[in-house]
Structure 1
């Protein structure tokens, strides 16, 4: 009997050893990988790229080997033994040359990626390239589209908050180098188009440019004598306006802006008179508008009436300072806060949480624990003592397997309700809408399968799906090996193939941004005191399960609002410190930080945060928004392994409210609506994302109050600094402009004639915070003001 068992074991071991060899035999066999093929590879833009973002890898191929019909692949290590493959098809004849661009993520590690070229299944070229440890997030990228790049190199400074040091990389772009992939375009902080035929950009590049602006990008367009070239792309309603005549304008504003008013000499510029819809004028001389800005989504588009590449700007000693000043006019957030986060790094963790939480078929862990404890008690001590008492201990070899079988059946039926029977796509839709109903949708999808299997995902509408992968490299970079394929991303087809991931693993993809028509949210609201009064009507196509109005300091829970119904804003639900973390984690709207939080709370709270995270530059909420969540299906099913997936949708809609702070000749800005600047860091450290100070020092903050008002009341609200951020270690002083010095703040409210001495001629209010090392971080306080129109 023993011989039979031993032979069986040897046979099983032999089979186990042979199977891997059989499997390997079917894989690609490497050929002479450099024979007759010359490849030059560059990473990023002029070898510049950012960790945590996507970047293009440009592969220039000269083929003197043979006709090749196959693929070009970049292997990106994900762990010590796995890699993701970014793949494009290629057809190149012998003697020909071709450039292939593949967009890949730059991981948080210094790694060796691999470039591979295959003819069919035969690998004809492979080489490792080094990627990583390049540019960090304090370096800002300015992309320049111009036929005369050298004339614009003075635009090399992006403004920053006081005490924050940034450096800038100018990137020369053209119609061939312009990113056709939104995740690559997100690397750029500013894009300048000047003296360039913009119609040369592809349709895909233009759509990405528009999406980039809507998500917070800053686009600067120079016109002047070359306006026909520069504006040739913008024929849709992305920028609404009408160009007028070219005129010569003598202005003192150019030199004055660059020198902070020290030089007011006039200069002549060729200026195009453009009438832009809903624009803000940044620079004006008489009736001539020299620079205008249009807010689109959370981004900004600036159009200058002049050409940035002509005199007086070229060769001018102060041209770099002028560029920095107009950038701060176009996008005040450059000065008011520094954005060091990025969508790619933050999105992965937020999206993984979202799509996992939506999967509500979860096992009851407590029940499993009870069953397991009963099983352990029965299978060992109970069986032993019962059989011992019956003097039948030899039956243990029968009772233990029988008990195991019984409990196996119990566990099977307990888990049957949590198992999937079909492939399920959990969709988290984030819709940003304006007051007219124009809306953009981003969709993040988690694919879940009933068993371990290879999953190929594609879009029925032909959209190119994007992989949402871990931005970090999991393992020792020195030991990285590209042995096992984890995920295959076919860039030219837009499909993604996940290789044999476990049932518990999340397969996450992103559907590119798209415009969507769902109706609109009608709001008839106004400010009364510190509260918002009015009516919200759901004129969309969907029922709202939850609806809120969120301001920088208060929140209104409106409940469910069915389509066609209206709800009144009578009284705010509560106040908070202005930080989104308090709304979602600390039992204000949600309590996802609590171990007792419901699955519904966790998911909606994560979705709530995600609706802000795509556009927020800090954790502080700066505007008034209507937030609505619906469970109605909006997305179409993805194709998974040739079949439509089961769709489970959860959608959040966010619409910023534009309120008029004037009522007749009265003006009132509630707490949180006055912009501020950090003008002196002292010896403290400043975190612009959380807008808090760390360490001992005396930082100074200036509040820019509306210059067109006569302030009668001003209140300094430091409640946010004395809550969870532990600012009991902070004392405030207020600058007295009559005495030209700081004085102790005996009150946080100022009114009547008393308030005048604390305001400059430009309505600036300045404070100094004395921070000690005895407590936690100190949050910048907010102010509210009331007054009359000048």
Structure 2
């Protein structure tokens, strides 16, 4: 017995020594340093780039895997003795394989996603065979929640910008950018409210970095390019059609900046602090013309739309040392006002992301083809009926009929379910949802694309990128999902190549996102505003495409046209209807009222509403069209090492011009000129979008200024009208007389028409001011709409 115990002990010692000897150098791999985001600046609820420094203190080379893991903690109250127990569940992981030489360091870049909940997050190192050898728990700090601004320039300009923003009431992390720290993934740029190119040779950017910058703008980002003396450096990378225009000479002269374009009607403004225009004396600027640009401040600030984003170009350097601090503050207030940033928007401003119903309902998701199953069922029916009869008759054992039917039912059921399982597991169904924006220049971009993967049975799903795809999991607002679990829960992600879902239970729908921005051909859809009378407008929509388009909305500020379905190569003409409240609610009510039958499918109503509303722009002064194509171009996706043909749908927006041409006359459409807010003391407001007030009530005063410069060379007729749908009660209305410098009392009971004589009387530098006074708590008013007719611009 002792000999056996000795032998067993020797074997155990031998195995232990052998294990220790073959243990790889990974025992000496340590996570030495972690840097988050760009210059340690990031937002916790967005994708973050982490730079992890690993050290290998062993002389041997090591090959393994670095993994970021997120674990949810659940409290289980049914533990032993009634004591609560914690249950840890891994939600997802991002992994990257690496090699490191002996006695060396290596920096690995890995995306991470840091939330603000009680989840636990780890960086871990594994050996090639999957053994854990190093682990560090990470947790972000609260100060990372600040807004961020990026600037291609030197530190002095970054400090200057930080000071200006702070004095304007908004502190932000200002990050100095360059080719060394600028990421190649546009999803890592989402933390920036805007990016400035000020004093930097942009041709230093790689092709991938430049593409990431353009994609950042297309997805809704803001880019400011300053010219001045540094214009050649700043524009050196823009050699394609991203910016089209002409550059003139560098000049020195005075620049007149219009007063701050305050358009936030949701906040009370007792009196404007910027009543006068600002004159910048003897400033160096560059003459330039940007194609299809909107003139914000004569030609010194020009704006174009690129996808969902904004590109703003200034003729001068806003960081010029001869500007005072107050002048820099005014310049950046104008710049930020004309971007998609939330810096100066009200607290209830929010960014629209696709909501849950989009991810859990898909119009093109169907069960796989069941032809084989139907054939097996038909054979079963034939065999049980005629087959039984001939077999039992041949054997002369008809008394076994019911026993044979029972046996055949069991066997055939096993066969049918076996074939169905094999057939359907290997063929998941995929639907692609494309979000497309067509700018007024006719160029279109797929700014967001989601793939929905459906299977009725449990299975493993592994998706790999093909061609130009930049596949990423979905974790926007991850911590706030209310439906079962996150649409991309339980996955392993290898940036930027592979996403693997393991052990899925069916039925399921899983979603992933393609971060690539694709240019697409125009959908030939013409929109003509027929303005026989400025106060009465009809809209003609001509579908010249081969697509059947459903749920078309043409929005003209607080009016819209709705067409339920427009067949290929067909036309429709509609009279505009009023929007009485929130635009999203108006869209939802349309879908609700259009559904046939007693029982309405609220999932489809919610999905269609959220699809279309996700493309509604923040600025409603530009007319636009949104629509839905259920059968768009075919797509493809690599699933389980097989390239599948994917059906796709498209939700699109077409930006339209604010000025229409009718009988050779140019007409500014009503609502296209958003007035500047001079004064507002009304205590209550109603909204058309979450950050756009449309009507006011209570005792107060409203003073507005309309600026028609940049639209018409010559103003011949003007019409000012009060929207009827919001009510108008117990108010006094005035218009400012520039001749007498007094307020003339008027009334908006009917549209107010101004001819050439009245235009000279009330317009100065193409500007006109309106004042509305609410007499008591029952007073109701809205923002008057202005339209004009005149000569060519």
TM-score by length of structure 2 reads 0.72
Aligned equivalents of 1:257 and 1:672: distance in 2?
18
Partner SS for 2:565: coil
Given that 1:550 and 1:624 are in contact with CA atoms closer than 8 Å, whether structure 2 keeps it comes out as yes
Alignment map for 1:620-659 (pairs within 5 Å): 622-645=621-644, 647-659=646-658
Aligned to 2:52: 59
How far off its partner does 1:424 sit? 0.6
Q: Which residue of 1 aligns with 2:238?
A: 234
Aligned to 1:190: 194
Q: Residues 594-641 of structure 1, C-alpha deviation per residue, up to 9 Å, x if partnerless?
A: 993248xx54763453244145338xx554333343333524221111
Partner of 2:610: 609
- Return closer, same or farther for 1:321/1:67 CA change in 2, 3 Å cut-off: farther
1:85 aligns with one of 82, 93, 111: 93
Deviation at 1:646, TM superposition (A): 5.5
The CA RMSD over aligned residues, in Å, is 4.8
Distance 1:324 1:231, change over 3 A: same
Q: Does 1:440 align with 2:448?
A: no
Shift of 1:114: 0.8
Q: Answer whether contact 2:530 2:540 (CA < 8 A) is retained.
A: no
Partner of 1:74: 68
Q: Which residue of 2 aligns with 1:294?
A: 304
Counterparts of residues 7-46 of structure 1 (less than 5 Å): 35=28, 37-46=30-39
Aligned residues: 676
Query: Which deviations, in whole Å up to 9, do the C-alpha atoms of 1:428-473 show, x marking residues without a partner?
Result: 2222224564221232111112321221112332512111136243
Say whether 1:328 aligns with 2:337: yes
Match of 1:452 among 450, 458, 463: 458
Report the counterpart of residue 396 of structure 1 in structure 2: none
1:480-500 alpha-carbon deviations (Å, 9 max, x no partner): xxxx9921111142x111122
Q: Deviations over 1:401-429 (max 9, x none)?
A: x9xx99x98xx99xx99x95630112222
Change in CA separation of 1:496 and 1:746 when aligned onto 2, cut-off 3 Å: same
Q: For the residues of structure 2 that align with 1:496 and 1:272, how far apart are their CA atoms?
A: 49
SS in 2 for 1:269: strand
What are the superposed Cα offsets for residues 374-411 of structure 1, whole Å, 9 maximum, x if unpaired? xxxxxxxxxxxxxxxxxxxxxxxxxxxx9xx99x98xx
CA separation of 1:657/1:713 partners in 2, compared to 1, >3 Å: closer, same or farther?
closer
Paired residues for 1:319-358 under 5 Å = 319-329=328-338, 340-342=349-351, 346-347=353-354, 349-355=356-362, 358=364
Q: Could you tell me whether the CA contact under 8 Å between 1:61 and 1:99 is conserved in 2?
A: yes
Residue 13 of structure 1 is matched in structure 2 by: none
Deviations 1:13-66 (A, max 9, x none): xxxxxxxxxxxxxxxx99998845352113334444334322222323333344
Residue 468 of structure 2 is aligned to residue 469 of structure 1: no
Query: TM-score by structure 1 length?
Result: 0.72
CA deviation string 1:240-295 (max 9, x = no partner): 12333333x121537998994769676333333333222234445xxxx5433223
* Conservation of the 8 A alpha-carbon contact between 2:48 and 2:111: yes
Bigger shift: residues 749-758 or 94-103: 749-758
Q: SS at 2:566's partner residue?
A: coil
Query: Taking structure 1 as reference, are residues 713 and 235 closer, same or farther at Cα in structure 2, changes over 3 Å only?
Result: closer
Deviation at 1:219, TM superposition (A): 0.8
Q: Deviations over 1:530-581 (max 9, x none)?
A: 555565443445343564534331213162321xx13142x33744336332
Unpaired stretches in structure 1, ≥5 consecutive residues? 1-28, 363-401, 476-483, 723-727
Aligned position for 1:7 = none
Distance 2:512 2:501 in 1: 11
Cα pair distance change 1:92/1:340, threshold 3 Å: farther
Structure 1 match to 2:381: none
* Distance across 1 between alignment mates of 2:780 and 2:502: 47
Pair 1:306 & 2:316 matched: yes
Q: Contact 1:692–1:779 at 8 Å: present in 2 too?
A: no
Match of 1:272 in 2: 286
1:642, distance to aligned residue in structure 2 (A):
1.2
Q: Structure 1 pair 629/666, CA: closer, same or farther in 2 (3 Å)?
A: closer
Change (3 A) 1:358 1:230: same
For the residues of structure 2 that align with 1:633 and 1:295, how far apart are their CA atoms?
A: 25
SS at structure 1 position matched to 2:160: coil
Does the C-alpha gap of structure 1 residues 658 and 594 become closer, same or farther in structure 2, counting only changes over 3 Å? farther
Select which of 572, 579, 583 maps to 1:576: 579
1:763 aligns with 2:768: yes
Alpha carbons 1:154, 1:319 under 8 Å: kept = no
State the match for 1:180 in structure 2: 184
